[in-house]
Structure 1
Amino acid sequence: MNRRRSAVTILIVAGALLAPAPASAANTTLTVNAASPFRPVSHVGAGGLYALAENNRPADTMLLPLKLNTLTQPSPRVGQRPNGQPPGGDALLVAPQATRVGAAEYIRMPDIYPNFPYQWVSWNDWLSKVDTQVRDRLAATGTSNIAGWELWNEPDYTWNTSAAGSFNAGWVTTFRRVRALDALTPIVGPSTATYNESWMRSFLTYARDNNALPDIICWHELTAASRIAGDIANYRALESSLGISPRRISINEYATPTEIDQPGPVASYIAKFERGGVNDAERAFWYEYGTVNGLTVNNQPTGSWWLYKWYGDMAGNMVVTTPRAQTGLDGFASHDPTRRIVDVVFGGESATNFVRVTGLSTVGGQVRVTLESTPANGRTSVVSNPTTISNTTATVSNGELTVTVPNMSATSGYHLRIQPTSGVPAYQQRYEAENAAIFRANRFGSSSASAGAYVGQIDNTGDPRTASYVDFVVNVPTARAYTMRIGYANATGATSTHGLAYNGGAWSTVSYPPTGAWGQFGATVSTSVTLRAGYNVIRLAKGSPFFGGGTGYAELDYIELV
């Protein structure tokens, strides 16, 4: 909305490991199965509505650690004055920065109007505005991160039926107008303020019957995280009953005005988006734009920034988390099989609570357990670092460990990391392709791939709307040259090539000699990359702006920096 048990039980207090807690001390338990992956880490909940403003606000240094997935930005020639602020955040003007940090963008078309709720003028006026936006985008040949046209915003609240006619008919008219000029960019909608089955049934039926179904289905979750699982299940059942092939789901506004600055409740939203299999989810805009909706203040982190930083640090696969209920304690977790690290981010409950982690056999018998928290200090307070609650060692018993977290605050966020006591590299060296920012390619599973997945269908037609590439956001300790090893497959029978560029620099070429079969990995090639200390973005591309295009085809498993 545009405004707006065989496990060992460990008690962690002030950095000390105490004796196992008695069962009567338990309040709520979040269960994590580190041996049960269900999707590659792709940071689906790391996005925002009006997250960026022109002139690089916030700074790249604040954005790169978050591994932003998708942003919803206002239209080219934006007229929208959010909360009385001047118009800003034009999707095409912020695209260079979004691209630098690996983020895709949806363009919200009705934000060419200045007011919210939108004030309808006429069909001639609206269609002229649609034409202008699409032509502006087509002229921006150096922009390749536009992932969709959002045709309208909250039609169940903002559509003027008396002046414009029914929304369903208006959707079809607008859909056809966009498609007449741009047949390639996905279309997003209907972007309702809430999920309502009868409203959605009417819309989908009409859109289906008029060949105007959105490529990405969208609605907002702005009232309670407890609704999310039921809404997604209801939509999937409705979609199936109408004979509609599964659509990607975007929740491009989430969390209430009070929750948006509270890491604890936000952890519950992200957990439910991950479990629900959504494609992307964006923090709601309630206050000011250009701060990722309160994650930064004057280019410094707020308490909520740290929760998304922990999310951004996740690698490998998301693993199953099971809360006691749809309200209260909840969280999301990952397992990086290369480094044997398990990360759990959680919150939403007070007092003493437990995190029970199973499936730890591959991590090791002796592990380091780190627990930290970040407060809900608001969107205008800098939080320079999270608070370390404990950093100690523990013994895993029967593949399980239960950590007791006393004195929790329901509004704070918490991060638990379990890793081997030795053998973990000083910095992350392997980056899975399926964890990267992927543009117009797809993730697939393979038992021979590192971490069980890879990226394929990396293609190109020479049009920036079909440019296909993978952006790896990497973090290295020292500015110097690194050897980059690439795991790949190439069953074309001949050498294939990708373009390689990093940090927006010059392009070079990577060559992939032929391998035995698609989806079968083990082959590697190596090249050298000169990186700055800290975060860098490495692009491997079949097609990309300012790059003529690769030859043949190659699938990507991982990159490794040594």
Structure 2
Amino acid sequence: MSSNLKRPRRRLKLAGPAAATAAALSLTVGGLAAQPAAAAPTETLSVDLGQSTGDFRGGATGTLYGLGDDGVPSQSVLNGARITNTSQKPPQGAQHPNGDALDVESSFFAAGGKDLYVYIQDEYPDWAYNGGKRPSDANSDGEWDYLPIIRSVAEKIATQSEHPENYIFIPFNEPDAGNWYPDWANQKDQFLADWSAAYQAIQDVYAAHGLPKAKIGGPGDAWWHQDRSTDFLAFAKEKNQLPDVFIWHELGTSNLATFRGHFAEYKQILSAQGLPDIPVNITEYGMLRDMGVPGQLVQWMSMFEDAKVDAQTAYWNYAGNLSDNSSRNNGANGGWWMFKWYGDLTGSTTVKVTPPQLNAPDTLQGIAAVDTAKKKATVLLGGGSSDVNVSVAGIDKNVFGNSVDVRVRADRLNGAEGASLQPPVIVSTQARVKDGKIAVTVPNNDRYSAYRLEITPAQAEQQPVASDLVNSTEAENTNLTDATVYNQDPSREWSFMASAGKDVGSFNRSTSAATWEVTVPRNGTYRLSVLAGANQRPGQHALLVDGTFNQLIKYSAGLSWTYRGTTEATVALTAGTHTLSLRASKDGSTLLPGADITLDRFDLFDITGGEQAVYPADEARLAGGAQLSYAKKDTAGTAQLSGNGTATFFASTAEPGYYDITTHYTTSGASALKLAVNGRPVTLPAATRSGTWDSAVRVFLPQGINELTVSAPSGALVHDITTLRGADQKNADSDASNVFRSEAEALPRAGAAAVQTAGPGSNGSADAAGVVRDVGYIGNGAGNTLSVPRPAGFGAGEYQLVLGAANADKSAAINYNPQVISRFVDVTEQGGSTVRGAMRHNYAWNSYWDKTIPLSLDTDGGTLVLGNARAYAPNIDTVTLAKFTTGTPTTVRK
């Protein structure tokens, strides 16, 4: 590590509530003009910490086909999202090309997953299954033709799974909606007989292998039916074949109003029939408009957590991106942060929340929980369009004291493929507890945003209100030329939502332009983030600053014009007001390739001091006996670690490259801090005596989510972890002694691997002539490879291999889902081992995403060979081999 590394200035203790509140209320979320707090309408969300509603269940962020393959999504993304339950297809099922339960079980259970459901009927390729008709006995062998399928699926799970006891079989999916039994009056007896046969077939397979009783879920209806449910439960009780989990779906917007009534009817049926409390899983919920949208998701989650049921986001697009709630190969969107916040409540007790309206779609809703061991209360809220007065009662002074710290973070809609960094702090204040009560105003004018409000005893250090976002402008509010504003009505359930409800399209003429003004506080470097949608191919726009061409903005391809993501560009600006303009032509006459991009929102961030994020200890996930400490004023709010105790932080990065990771901690004596980055240990110098210390190391991190785990076997109080990427760190990227970078076409090839020219508008790396080339036809045979010779100085050790790669592979259209295929690349070190990397579908063969593969190299110079003997690898544009760490780690007493 370079000797001039400086830790960011410590946060100062704020003078009191007034300073932080004033700062927070002047901020607007969503980029609309700021207004005085007094002028803004407010809604009240009432929380009573003294009225428990039960143990936190945490099952409302289940997914249907949220996992695609081993490594899709990445382990860090999956760990942070804390998915407890998922439904997948049976082994080698024909309904989709990926999502196989056995392929994803390792990553699912490693991430703390509990229940892995299997849709047995997804053995069929078509939708509705078998043409919508119940199979017959086509072979005239006296046995129903579906039973051998059921036995085969159960047999594979029983014999090939490492955790067959954690599977739940779903024999029937939406039997009421065109899948074999829609006419209950005339098909009831057949369905009940078939349930009995399916149930027994599964149990027979498990018994034959000496396994415990198999778990089975049903009936699986597409919506709630009181009559069908009553008949089904009565029959199952009589036959002693009750489901282990009762299943139905709640998909449409109206179900935000009706679910609680349906659940009450279900409980009444159980009571009337003298049945035990059979747990519920709503194995599909929500529409396209809900996915990836924090303010929508919190409404569903609050409803299901209130009922203490599990629930799974519906599968409308791709397997492997948590139902549109994660981005790219390793990234977070706004939905992912909502998943994580919800999962962070594990171990707490939920408490009573009273929203302005209950059972009213698209309104302010919330979840609240208390963790007395951590001395923390959390409120997750969103869905309204006005400032929120969060009225909190029942604060126990024996737990929280007479004065509390309050911190609010904002999580915005950022597109399905948007790169969402750490949600910013928008309120940071102290409040006096009076009669067990406080009130906090959360500034809000964005129905698509969600917020996390946390209450703790007074801490040694408060987080400041974020100030790096200097401008946020909706595309529809810019000066537009030859472009059209479109209203993305949230009532259209099959549409993806746009920031502020509108976007700009038909940006398809050489004169098309969006122009707006920004005012920046100082001379420096700024990051422009463009939220936009590209339809199945990448595209380009010209960015002009004050009328002068600055650079080309290159967009990645997307599913559609409204399946949005973020594109980043770095711009140098002087203090004052500037005019920014995105145009479809660089010269005003020649249309740029792929310029017909949907524009949604423009965010400008001040990164003059570098991209910095601070992750406080009270937001970490603690394990192994670690706990938050408030024993002393100067270390209040720290994570007390010793022995096997750990604190895990999930850090989000804007781009791959070197970051300085600094852990700030206090010791009572000599102590060695341990750090693991995405599971890989990093050595830090020990603290030699008592004091407060900063241990820092420079690590090459992938873009997206990174799991940072800290431990201190001899004891330490961890205040926080900071990640910082600035000019010095970027210089480390360009240092040839740290990083080897090459265009793929310049590397040795073998067999059928071939150089090919990318199509117009590619977002890949161009050569001196402006042409983008990649290497395709890698794999699908052991001899078809791309090799990376190791340069001098790149001996045995820890590395990151970053591939700029494209994968637009799909199987033939079978049903309404895009049948995407993950591709894998095997990286073999000659004389060493092989590591496999997974690349999810990214929409176009000339659109490239970064895929980072960790490598532990054993030889001093063995060539790296990229291939895949069994199938094609992704097309590769660029190859970067970076040392995992660089410089000298430091531990400095503060």
Q: Structure 1 length normalisation: TM-score?
A: 0.71
1:334 to 369, 390, 399: 369
- Kindly provide the CA deviation profile for residues 164-217 of structure 1, in whole angstroms up to 9, marking residues without a partner as x: 973222211211111222251211011111112112112222222332221111
Alignment of 1:35 with 2:35, yes or no, is: no
Matches for 1:367-446 after TM superposition, within 5 Å? 367-422=404-459, 426=617, 431=623
1:353 to 361, 382, 388: 388
2:63 to 48, 54, 74: 48
SS of 1:52's partner is coil
Alignment of 1:67 with 2:67, yes or no, is: no
User: Following TM superposition, by how much is the alpha carbon of 1:50 offset from its aligned partner in structure 2, in angstroms?
Assistant: 0.4
In 2, the alpha carbon distance for the partners of 1:65 and 1:196 equals 36
Alignment of 1:129 with 2:117, yes or no, is: no
Matches for 1:149-228 after TM superposition, within 5 Å? 149-161=169-181, 166-182=190-206, 184-223=213-252, 224-228=255-259
Moved more, 303-312 or 254-263: 254-263
In 2, the alpha carbon distance for the partners of 1:195 and 1:473 equals 44
| Letter of the 2:82 counterpart | K
User: Following TM superposition, by how much is the alpha carbon of 1:379 offset from its aligned partner in structure 2, in angstroms?
Assistant: 1.2
Unaligned runs of 5+ in 2: 1-16, 28-35, 138-143, 208-212, 462-615, 626-644, 650-661, 664-670, 681-705, 712-894
| Letter of the 1:209 counterpart | E
| Letter of the 2:375 counterpart | R
In 1, the alpha carbon distance for the partners of 2:240 and 2:18 equals 57
- Contact kept, 8 Å, 2:20 with 2:428, in 1: the verdict is no
In 2, the alpha carbon distance for the partners of 1:11 and 1:25 equals 18
Given the superposition, is the C-alpha separation of residues 342 and 9 from structure 1 closer, same or farther in structure 2, using an over 3 Å criterion? farther
2:293 to 257, 262, 277: 262
Q: Name the larger-Rg structure.
A: 2
- Contact kept, 8 Å, 1:12 with 1:406, in 2: the verdict is no
User: Following TM superposition, by how much is the alpha carbon of 1:39 offset from its aligned partner in structure 2, in angstroms?
Assistant: 2.4
Matches for 1:307-322 after TM superposition, within 5 Å? 307-314=338-345, 315-322=347-354
SS of 2:129's partner is coil
SS of 1:311's partner is helix
Given the superposition, is the C-alpha separation of residues 115 and 407 from structure 1 closer, same or farther in structure 2, using an over 3 Å criterion? same
Given the superposition, is the C-alpha separation of residues 481 and 100 from structure 1 closer, same or farther in structure 2, using an over 3 Å criterion? farther
In 2, the alpha carbon distance for the partners of 1:287 and 1:536 equals 37
1:286 to 303, 316, 323: 316
| Letter of the 1:426 counterpart | A
SS of 1:136's partner is helix
SS of 1:251's partner is strand
Given the superposition, is the C-alpha separation of residues 13 and 195 from structure 1 closer, same or farther in structure 2, using an over 3 Å criterion? farther
User: Following TM superposition, by how much is the alpha carbon of 1:347 offset from its aligned partner in structure 2, in angstroms?
Assistant: 0.8
Given the superposition, is the C-alpha separation of residues 384 and 21 from structure 1 closer, same or farther in structure 2, using an over 3 Å criterion? closer
Given the superposition, is the C-alpha separation of residues 356 and 341 from structure 1 closer, same or farther in structure 2, using an over 3 Å criterion? same
- Contact kept, 8 Å, 1:67 with 1:473, in 2: the verdict is no
- Contact kept, 8 Å, 1:338 with 1:430, in 2: the verdict is no
User: Following TM superposition, by how much is the alpha carbon of 1:67 offset from its aligned partner in structure 2, in angstroms?
Assistant: 1.8
User: Following TM superposition, by how much is the alpha carbon of 1:352 offset from its aligned partner in structure 2, in angstroms?
Assistant: 2.3
| Letter of the 2:708 counterpart | G
- Kindly provide the CA deviation profile for residues 490-511 of structure 1, in whole angstroms up to 9, marking residues without a partner as x: xxxxxxxxxxxxx89xxxxxxx
SS of 2:224's partner is coil
- Kindly provide the CA deviation profile for residues 408-439 of structure 1, in whole angstroms up to 9, marking residues without a partner as x: 31121111111122279935585599xxxxxx
Alignment of 1:117 with 2:96, yes or no, is: no
| Letter of the 2:369 counterpart | S
SS of 2:45's partner is strand
User: Following TM superposition, by how much is the alpha carbon of 1:536 offset from its aligned partner in structure 2, in angstroms?
Assistant: 9.6
In 2, the alpha carbon distance for the partners of 1:473 and 1:221 equals 38
SS of 1:187's partner is strand
- Kindly provide the CA deviation profile for residues 461-507 of structure 1, in whole angstroms up to 9, marking residues without a partner as x: xxxxxxxxxxx9962697x9899xxxxxxxxxxxxxxxxxxx89xxx
In 1, the alpha carbon distance for the partners of 2:353 and 2:90 equals 38
SS of 1:264's partner is helix
User: Following TM superposition, by how much is the alpha carbon of 1:277 offset from its aligned partner in structure 2, in angstroms?
Assistant: 1.9
SS of 2:300's partner is helix
User: Following TM superposition, by how much is the alpha carbon of 1:366 offset from its aligned partner in structure 2, in angstroms?
Assistant: 1.8
- Contact kept, 8 Å, 1:17 with 1:392, in 2: the verdict is no
User: Following TM superposition, by how much is the alpha carbon of 1:296 offset from its aligned partner in structure 2, in angstroms?
Assistant: 1.1
User: Following TM superposition, by how much is the alpha carbon of 1:12 offset from its aligned partner in structure 2, in angstroms?
Assistant: 4.2
- Kindly provide the CA deviation profile for residues 53-95 of structure 1, in whole angstroms up to 9, marking residues without a partner as x: 11310101111122211111111221113xxxxx211111111
SS of 1:158's partner is coil
User: Following TM superposition, by how much is the alpha carbon of 1:346 offset from its aligned partner in structure 2, in angstroms?
Assistant: 0.9
SS of 1:380's partner is coil
Aligned match of 2:538: none
In 1, the alpha carbon distance for the partners of 2:59 and 2:672 equals 32
| Letter of the 1:293 counterpart | S
- Contact kept, 8 Å, 1:10 with 1:401, in 2: the verdict is no
In 1, the alpha carbon distance for the partners of 2:302 and 2:433 equals 25
2:24 to 5, 8, 15: 15
| Letter of the 1:345 counterpart | L
In 2, the alpha carbon distance for the partners of 1:128 and 1:390 equals 59
User: Following TM superposition, by how much is the alpha carbon of 1:151 offset from its aligned partner in structure 2, in angstroms?
Assistant: 1.3
Given the superposition, is the C-alpha separation of residues 37 and 431 from structure 1 closer, same or farther in structure 2, using an over 3 Å criterion? farther
Aligned match of 1:253: 284
Aligned match of 1:295: 325
Aligned match of 2:515: none
Moved more, 416-425 or 35-44: 416-425
| Letter of the 2:395 counterpart | L
User: Following TM superposition, by how much is the alpha carbon of 1:130 offset from its aligned partner in structure 2, in angstroms?
Assistant: 0.7
SS of 2:454's partner is strand
In 1, the alpha carbon distance for the partners of 2:373 and 2:172 equals 43
| Letter of the 1:66 counterpart | A
User: Following TM superposition, by how much is the alpha carbon of 1:237 offset from its aligned partner in structure 2, in angstroms?
Assistant: 0.3
| Letter of the 1:122 counterpart | S
Given the superposition, is the C-alpha separation of residues 215 and 145 from structure 1 closer, same or farther in structure 2, using an over 3 Å criterion? closer
User: Following TM superposition, by how much is the alpha carbon of 1:121 offset from its aligned partner in structure 2, in angstroms?
Assistant: 3.7
Aligned match of 1:229: 260
Aligned match of 2:708: 534
SS of 1:258's partner is helix
- Kindly provide the CA deviation profile for residues 221-270 of structure 1, in whole angstroms up to 9, marking residues without a partner as x: 11222222111111000111122221011111111221223211211111
Alignment of 1:365 with 2:424, yes or no, is: no
Structure 1 vs Structure 2: percent identity of aligned residues?
28
Report the number of matched residues. Answer: 440
- Contact kept, 8 Å, 1:351 with 1:408, in 2: the verdict is yes
Moved more, 116-125 or 185-194: 116-125
Q: Which structure's relative contact order is higher, taking Cα pairs within 8 Å and 6+ residues apart? A: 1
- Contact kept, 8 Å, 1:107 with 1:146, in 2: the verdict is no
Alignment of 1:107 with 2:118, yes or no, is: yes
In 1, the alpha carbon distance for the partners of 2:62 and 2:446 equals 25
User: Following TM superposition, by how much is the alpha carbon of 1:145 offset from its aligned partner in structure 2, in angstroms?
Assistant: 6.3
User: Following TM superposition, by how much is the alpha carbon of 1:15 offset from its aligned partner in structure 2, in angstroms?
Assistant: 2.6
Moved more, 179-188 or 70-79: 179-188
SS of 1:354's partner is strand
User: Following TM superposition, by how much is the alpha carbon of 1:16 offset from its aligned partner in structure 2, in angstroms?
Assistant: 5.8
Please identify which structure carries the higher helix content. Answer: 1
User: Following TM superposition, by how much is the alpha carbon of 1:295 offset from its aligned partner in structure 2, in angstroms?
Assistant: 1.4
